[in-house]
């Protein structure tokens, strides 16, 4: 009986140590990931002398940097352009990739597997390799300098990833159910304020949707 109790205590002690080590490691990773965001926020609240002196904390929190950044860097228009491009890119990507995924997972035809593999080949093409051809193509069709010069390439490069995600999702559905930039002021603190405001939507969206994205990636990987 005593031997069993000793073994149980050792097991609990081992689990406690493992949990402590895991907590320390995860905390270190969290701090490492959070530090750049904290640095940027503090950077945005300084003036130039404080920045060049290398002060970590600002002497005074200069919130006027955010007002100046919004006024002089045209962030309002930048946010609108980002919203416009994002909405159309998401709608087109979802529409086209969902139809493609349905065709290669639910419809029975000879080349469906070949088309699926062909669609996934886009994951291996770096977007930087296509920048020059894309620019020349957009210029030739008169779209260079417009929002659609961004929307169309974004949609095309998202297709492979979206098809993979949708295909993994559709494989889990029961078949009977499915049949139913601007100019910046010379104040570096203002530049920091502009950068901080520009990343807020991205960070917020990631925090809200990160678990769902990980679940879909895992499901697509297993089905693929």
pLDDT of residue 206 exceeding 80, the answer is no
Q: Residue 38's Cα: distance from chain center in Å?
A: 19
pLDDT tens digit sequence for 88-121: 998 998 888 888 888 888 888 888 888 888 888 8
Q: What is the pLDDT of residue 88?
A: 92
Name the percent of the chain lying above pLDDT 90. 4
- CB-based contact 89:151 (threshold 8 Å): yes
* pLDDT band for position 180 (cuts 50, 70, 90): very low
Q: What is the pLDDT of residue 2?
A: 58
Rounded to whole angstroms, how far apart are CA atoms 221 and 171? 12
Is the CATH code 1.10.3720.10 the one for domain 2-223? yes
Rounded to whole angstroms, how far apart are CA atoms 119 and 122? 6
Q: Give DSSP secondary structure letters for 173-197.
A: S-HHHHT---PPPS-HHHHHHHHHH
Instruction: Return mean pLDDT, the chain.
Output: 78
CB contact set of 157 (below 8 Å; sequence gap of 6+): 122, 125, 127
What pTM was computed for the model?
A: 0.55
Instruction: Supply 209's token pair.
Output: 């949707």
Number of H helices, E strands in the chain: 9, 0
pLDDT tens digit sequence for 113-155: 888 888 888 888 887 788 888 888 888 988 888 899 989 988 8
Q: What is the pLDDT of residue 102?
A: 86
């Amino acid at each position: 009986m005593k031997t069993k109790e000793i073994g149980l205590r050792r097991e609990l002690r081992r689990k406690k140590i493992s949990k402590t080590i895991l907590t320390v490691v995860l905390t270190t990773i969290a701090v490492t990931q959070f530090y750049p965001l904290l640095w940027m926020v503090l950077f945005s609240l300084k003036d130039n002398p404080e920045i060049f002196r290398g002060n970590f904390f600002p002497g005074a929190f200069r919130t006027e940097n955010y007002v100046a950044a919004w006024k002089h860097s045209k962030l309002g228009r930048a946010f609108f352009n980002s919203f416009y491009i994002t909405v159309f890119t998401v709608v087109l990507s979802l529409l086209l990739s969902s139809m493609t995924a349905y065709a290669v997972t639910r419809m029975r035809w000879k080349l469906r597997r070949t088309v699926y593999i062909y669609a996934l080949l886009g994951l291996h093409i770096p977007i930087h390799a296509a920048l020059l051809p894309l620019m020349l193509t957009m210029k030739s069709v008169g779209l260079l300098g417009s929002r659609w010069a961004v929307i169309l390439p974004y949609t095309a490069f998202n297709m492979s990833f979206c098809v993979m995600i949708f295909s993994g999702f559709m494989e889990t559905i029961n078949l009977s159910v499915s049949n139913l930039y601007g100019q910046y002021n010379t104040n570096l603190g203002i530049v920091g304020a502009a950068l901080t405001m520009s990343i807020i939507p991205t960070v917020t969206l990631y925090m809200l949707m990160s678990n769902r994205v990980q679940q879909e990636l895992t499901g697509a990987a297993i089905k693929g």
